[in-house]
Amino acid sequence: MTPEVITRFAPSPTGYLHIGGGRTALFNWLYARGRGGKFLLRIEDTDRERSTPEATAAILKGLAWLGLDWDGEVVSQFDRKDRHAEVAHQMLTRGTAYKCFSTQEEIAAFRAAEEAAGRYPVFLSPWRDADPATYPDAPYVIRMKAPRSGETVIDDQVQGRVVIKNETLDDMIVLRSDNTPTYMLAVVVDDHDMGVTHVIRGDDHLNNAARQQMVYDAMGWVVPVWAHIPLIHGPDGKKLSKRHGATGVEEYQAMGYPAAGMRNYLTRLGWAKGDAEIFTTQEAMAMFDLKGIGRAPARLDFKKLENTCGHHVAMMEDAALLHELEGYLRAAQQPPLTRAQHDLLLRALPSVKDRAKTFPELIDKAQFALLSRPVVPDAQAAVSLDTVSRGILRSLTPRLQNANWTKEALEPILTEAAAENGIGFGKLAAPLRAALAGRTVTPSVYDMMLVIGRDETIARLEDASA
């Protein structure tokens, strides 16, 4: 008997999809999907100066990567401007709004005077109760006739009961002099018309909610359930900005984080349900609620993001993992896998995926399978590439070039070199791989792995190739 839940994500298309916006979208998506409801998408493009089609495309792309699908068509707020104007005029006839002929200069002067007098710079329009007969033949805006006394209460699912004194709110403009709606009017009209039941958005809108609620009241509409979630901050606790590095979701894709891991991490960032840490998206849908959202801004922690992603890389099925890896390659503008590489990788995945956290790491650990052959060690590159075993490699390289590269031939050389230098046999692996990167081994990388790899890995590889 519970009415259908309808949530929405309503970004303005002024750039890419911000990681914070991605999380907001995720919360809305999770909440709706977990309850058999609908998740809608609206682009708030009423600001023609700053809105671009490219930005809209980037946002859609970001959502698609995160795996957040929406119901129905994408709504363009700009396209609904006539409807917004219609509502503004309805407010006029209902007497909950009025025409204001004050010029911007007058308003600025009023504010300056108020501030100089030490009062709130809340503009009080002289036209609020003016007789229509005195209206001049001049451009005007439509302002809402907000209550001058009393208080507006926002019953917020995250922030609790927030009380705003009405005297601190001015008669906001709902329709500009060019007949276009302002954000405050447009959101309310759209959310109402779209049937949105739960507004889950950043808490930078908390104060706005009071104004918007007045519009709902003015129109006699049902106020949605509010849930204002704290914004994400950078590792230093400051508002997330370019200074912190990646702020757009596509940057995270390009860095090689799997989408499932991103969803898991972002869900847990500022939300908790008991001790649940690692979960699938299905599980998240079932668990997610508004109650578990914290009130304080959460900081982005890349270490934990990586750890979470590591679990998901290990959990994913090989084919799906490989498919997403190819998407990563495109996002990172790297050459695609050849058919042969694709097959080699697929076979190597079982032995490496539980050791990698990100796609670049996965590729790195699978180098032994990807290298083309034959390979000739490059002494110059080797020397510059590693710090730990630099000396060993230098002494080793000439001998490697002359050796017959079979397991039997390599093993004594490597063991001897390791012993000579008092270093673990296995420490040779990293510099060797680095030296061989882009080239290969004779007779095969597989043989290298027999020497430097772990028995268990080899056994699994053998099984995979059988």
Does position 304 interact with RNA (CB under 7 A)? The reply is yes
Does position 176 interact with RNA (CB under 7 A)? The reply is yes
How far is C-alpha 3 from the geometric centre of its chain's CA atoms? Answer: 29
Does position 283 interact with RNA (CB under 7 A)? The reply is no
Q: Which of 25-33, 116-124, 192-200, 327-335 is the region at the interface with RNA (rule: CB under 7 A)?
A: 116-124
CB of residue 327 to RNA, shortest distance in Å: 23
Q: Which is nearer to RNA, 67 or 235 (CB)?
A: 235
CB of residue 333 to RNA, shortest distance in Å: 26
Q: Which of 19, 59, 298, 375 binds RNA (CB under 7 A)?
A: 298
Does position 192 interact with RNA (CB under 7 A)? The reply is no
State the burial class of residue 1 (Cβ atoms within 10 Å of its Cβ: 0-12, 13-18, 19+).
exposed
Q: Which of 74, 90, 168, 395 binds RNA (CB under 7 A)?
A: 168
Query: Which residues have a Cβ under 8 Å from the Cβ of 77 and sit 6 or more positions away?
Result: 10, 42, 43, 44, 45, 46, 186, 190
Query: Which residues have a Cβ under 8 Å from the Cβ of 450 and sit 6 or more positions away?
Result: 407, 458
Does position 135 interact with RNA (CB under 7 A)? The reply is no
Q: Which of 116, 117, 133, 163 binds RNA (CB under 7 A)?
A: 163
Does position 76 interact with RNA (CB under 7 A)? The reply is no
What is d(CA 162, CA 152) in angstroms, rounded to the nearest whole number? 8
Does position 123 interact with RNA (CB under 7 A)? The reply is yes
Does position 149 interact with RNA (CB under 7 A)? The reply is no
Q: Which of 365, 373, 439, 460 binds RNA (CB under 7 A)?
A: 365
Q: How many CB atoms lie within 10 A of CB 137?
A: 6
99 part of the active site: no
Q: Which of 164, 196, 218, 325 binds RNA (CB under 7 A)?
A: 164
CB of residue 68 to RNA, shortest distance in Å: 19
Of 242, 273, 353, 407, the active-site residue reads: 242
Q: Which of 77, 152, 213, 281 binds RNA (CB under 7 A)?
A: 77
Does position 427 interact with RNA (CB under 7 A)? The reply is yes
What is d(CA 193, CA 234) in angstroms, rounded to the nearest whole number? 36
Give residue 16's region: left, alpha or beta (phi > 0; psi -120 to 50): beta
- Identify the CA nearest to 259 among candidates 37, 435, 65: 65
Question: Which structure tokens are listed for 264?
Answer: 């898991």
Does position 116 interact with RNA (CB under 7 A)? The reply is no
State the burial class of residue 367 (Cβ atoms within 10 Å of its Cβ: 0-12, 13-18, 19+).
middle
Q: Which of 7, 56, 182, 397 binds RNA (CB under 7 A)?
A: 182
Q: Is the peptide bond before 258 cis (omega within 30 degrees of 0)?
A: no
Q: Which of 412, 454, 459, 463 binds RNA (CB under 7 A)?
A: 454
78 near 44, Cβ under 8 Å?
Answer: no
Question: Which structure tokens are listed for 88?
Answer: 């503004």
How much helix, strand and coil, in percent to the nearest 5, is found in the chain?
50, 10, 35
Q: Which is nearer to RNA, 37 or 377 (CB)?
A: 377
State the burial class of residue 328 (Cβ atoms within 10 Å of its Cβ: 0-12, 13-18, 19+).
buried
Within 31-50, which residues bind RNA (CB under 7 A)? 44-47, 50
Does position 327 interact with RNA (CB under 7 A)? The reply is no
Within 223-262, which residues bind RNA (CB under 7 A)? 230-231, 233, 235, 237-239
Query: Which residues have a Cβ under 8 Å from the Cβ of 340 and sit 6 or more positions away?
Result: none
CB of residue 277 to RNA, shortest distance in Å: 4
What is d(CA 139, CA 137) in angstroms, rounded to the nearest whole number? 7
Does position 162 interact with RNA (CB under 7 A)? The reply is yes
Number of residues located near RNA, criterion CB under 7 A: 85
Does position 425 interact with RNA (CB under 7 A)? The reply is yes
What is d(CA 80, CA 192) in angstroms, rounded to the nearest whole number? 13
Within 4-23, which residues bind RNA (CB under 7 A)? 12
Q: Which of 61, 355, 390, 460 binds RNA (CB under 7 A)?
A: 355
Within 330-349, which residues bind RNA (CB under 7 A)? none
CB of residue 339 to RNA, shortest distance in Å: 27
Q: Which is nearer to RNA, 170 or 331 (CB)?
A: 170
CB of residue 378 to RNA, shortest distance in Å: 19
Does position 435 interact with RNA (CB under 7 A)? The reply is no
Locus of tokens 């996965």: 362
What is d(CA 274, CA 268) in angstroms, rounded to the nearest whole number? 11
In single-letter form, the type of residue at position 448 comes to: M
Does position 297 interact with RNA (CB under 7 A)? The reply is yes
Q: Which is nearer to RNA, 331 or 348 (CB)?
A: 348
Active-site residue set: 242
